[in-house]
Amino acid sequence: MNIDLDDFIKENRKEFDTERPSGGVWDKIEQELDKQGEKKPKKRRLYLAMSIAASLLILMGLVFLNRGPAGRSKLNLAEINPVAAQKQMRFASMIAEKRDSLANYASDNPELYEKFNSDLQVLNQNYEKLRKELPGSPNQQLIVKAMVRNLEIQMHLLSQQLSIISSVTEYNKENQI
């Protein structure tokens, strides 16, 4: 069908060319082309600005990852103070055992358990703050000592709490008989 149409146009070309557009038509087309030509640089500028902004955003992200808190948080306690790292591991396991023992008494005296648990949470939050401060601290030895001291206090507090709960449980058993 296209071939027939092409042949028809070629054969009757002179009949199609009888009319000429006015001079104003070409002026309007030229003005439209000029308007379109003016818009293209704006798109390029926008594209260039967006490209630069994206590049800067990526660059800032890379700098943050390399130098920010996330990049420094992989600091190993054993590298700073091996003795303190051993103490920390020992205290952490003992604290976990004592917390489990304390949790066993929770059903007997839930109010007392909640009070004890809130005291421990305060100490644990302080420990986490110290742990987060460690990578950026100029005196890491001091922070490590404070962390170990916090764990010692947690151990001591748990021992006292277990002693109190044992006494309360024994007292309750004696009074029930």
In angstroms, the CA 49 to CA 55 distance is: 10
In angstroms, the CA 128 to CA 133 distance is: 9
CB 161 within 8 A of CB 116: yes
Specify the pLDDT at position 129: 93
> In terms of pTM, does the model score above 0.85?
no
CB 147 within 8 A of CB 131: yes
Cα distances (angstroms) measured from residue 57 to each of 48, 65, 102, 106, 177: 14, 12, 50, 51, 73
pLDDT tens over the chain, length 177 residues: 566 888 888 888 777 777 777 778 778 888 887 776 555 555 667 777 777 777 777 877 777 776 654 444 456 666 777 787 788 888 888 888 888 887 877 777 788 888 888 888 999 999 999 888 888 888 888 888 898 899 899 899 889 988 888 888 888 888 876
